[in-house]
Amino acid sequence: MTIRDVQEKILKLKKENDICILAHSYQAREILEVADFTGDSYQLSVSAAKTNSKTVLMCGVRFMAETVKILSPEKTVLLAHPEAGCPMAEQMEKALISGVKKQFPDYAVVAYINTTAELKTICDVCVTSSSAVRIIEKIESDNILFLPDCNLGAYVASQVPSKNVKLLQGGCPIHAVVDVNDVKKAKTRYPNALLLIHPECTPEVVKHADYVGSTSGIMDYAKNSDAKEFLIGTELSIAEHLQYMCPDKRFYHLSQKLLCPNMRITTLIDVLNCVEGVSGDEIILDEQTISQAKKCINKMIELGG
Ligand code: 13P
Ligand code: SF4
């Protein structure tokens, strides 16, 4: 069986079984090709809220599938690979944040969408990397408690200096390990390339960027730019996708450290198994968690649009 045979089988079965496939931009190209919606975590949340299919299959990580379930509790929501989690989403427990909230009662609690459904139940609003600045600008409160990613939080604080942003010490273990030496080495090797960086990287790295944005933001910027060479400061998959999309341009990795094993764990065969009904981890959340977590995701969609 070729990749094309597997893809054709998936396309036929997802139609027959009324399954909508969502795939994050970090997924493999052969998975993106069979998806109904692809994009960054904000675009996937919005698409999830719109789909009419009975079943949604998320090719991405667990918090993304949870977000779909929260927005569409009547649907069957499957995570394509049961072990695809985001380590950042698991970093802060509800009990810890409840304690912090007591110390800062007049702060709005802003959760990066890379958090568990449970933690979202005690947060005021969610943000994604593409919507964070827009949303923080619109929040009424001037005092913001931002969790869990201190790097995204620092970037937002730098863009919205009128707000007092308190950061907690969490972050993405993949993006946060890229350092200024990686930037220097990459720039020496590719002196003409523009540097496009995800805001989960540290402020020291972000400082050198020509553009800072989400996965989709980076892709759109590169596609629309007149420049011919780009250094991509996010998961390795993005440079590869861009190279297929823009064959007349050149895309280089900022660092080989930018490989997210959780995003890479899902294969096309996993997707086939899911549409055949033999695998897929069904997301089950209790009603109370859904109704409380929904408030902060809905607030994100309301302010982020
Ligand atoms: P995006 O908001 O760009 O989709 O990022 C999600 C993520 O997990 C990045 O590491
Ligand atoms: Fe989580 Fe980082 Fe992987 Fe994104 S790249 S899914 S934030 S571990």
Cα distances (Å, whole numbers) of residue 305 to 3, 44, 45, 62, 63: 37, 13, 12, 24, 21
Determine which residue's CA is closest to atom 1 belonging to ligand 2. 86
- The per-residue pLDDT for 48 is 80
pLDDT tens digits along 196-247: 999 999 999 999 999 999 999 999 999 999 999 999 999 999 999 999 999 9
Atom of ligand 2 nearest to the CA of 260: 3
The rounded Å distance from CA 226 to ligand 2 centre is: 29
Asked whether the bond before 191 is cis by omega within 30 degrees of 0, the reply is: no
pLDDT the model gives residue 252: 98
- Ligand 2 geometric centre to CA of 87 (Å): 7
Residues with CB under 6 A from ligand 1: 40-41, 86, 114, 128-130, 172, 200, 214-215
CB atoms within 10 A of CB 253: 19
pLDDT tens per residue across all 305 residues of the chain = 999 999 999 999 999 999 999 999 999 999 999 999 999 988 998 888 788 999 999 999 999 999 999 999 999 999 999 999 999 999 999 999 999 999 999 999 999 999 999 999 999 999 999 999 999 999 999 999 999 999 999 999 999 999 999 999 999 999 999 999 999 999 999 999 999 999 999 999 999 999 999 999 999 999 999 999 999 999 999 999 999 999 999 999 999 999 999 999 999 999 999 999 999 999 999 999 999 999 999 999 999 87
* Ligand 1 atom closest to residue 25's alpha carbon, by position in its atom list: 4
- Structure token pair of residue 221: 């910027």
Whole-number Å distance, alpha carbon 223 to ligand 1 midpoint, is: 19
DSSP-derived pairing of the beta strands 281-282 and 76-79: antiparallel
Beta-strand runs (E) in 234-280: 250-253
Determine if ligand 2 sits within 6 Å of the CB of residue 176. Answer: no
Q: Are 31 and 268 a contacting pair, CB within 8 Å?
A: yes
Helices (H) and strands (E) in the chain, counts: 15, 13
The two tokens of residue 56 are 């949604």
- Ligand 2 site-directed mutation target among 263, 264, 265, most atoms within 8 Å of CB: 263
Retrieve residue 158's tokens. 């730098």
Residue 263 Cβ contacting ligand 2 at under 6 Å = yes
Candidates 112, 208, 126; CA nearest to 167 is: 112
CA separation for the pair 281, 261 (Å, rounded): 18
Peptide bond into 148 cis (omega under 30): yes
Tokens 């200024």, located at residue: 180
Quote the pTM value: 0.96
Q: What CA–CA distances, in Å, run from 83 to 79, 86, 139?
A: 9, 9, 35
Angle, CA of 69, 86 and 95, to the nearest 5°: 80
Strands (E), 154-266: 164-167, 194-197, 211-212, 229-233, 250-253
Q: How far is the CA of 87 from the centre of ligand 1 (A)?
A: 13
How many angstroms is it from 200 CA to the middle of ligand 2?
A: 9
φ and ψ at 167, to 5 degrees? -105, 145
Contact present, 124 and 109 (Cβ < 8 Å): yes
Looking at all shown ligands, the one closest to residue 262's CA atom is 2
Give the mutation target among 26, 201, 260 for probing the ligand 2 site: most ligand atoms within 8 A of CB: 260
3 state SS of 190: coil
Ligand 1: residue of 214, 237, 264 to mutate (most ligand atoms within 8 A of CB) is 214
In degrees rounded to 5, what are phi and psi of residue 245?
A: -75, -35
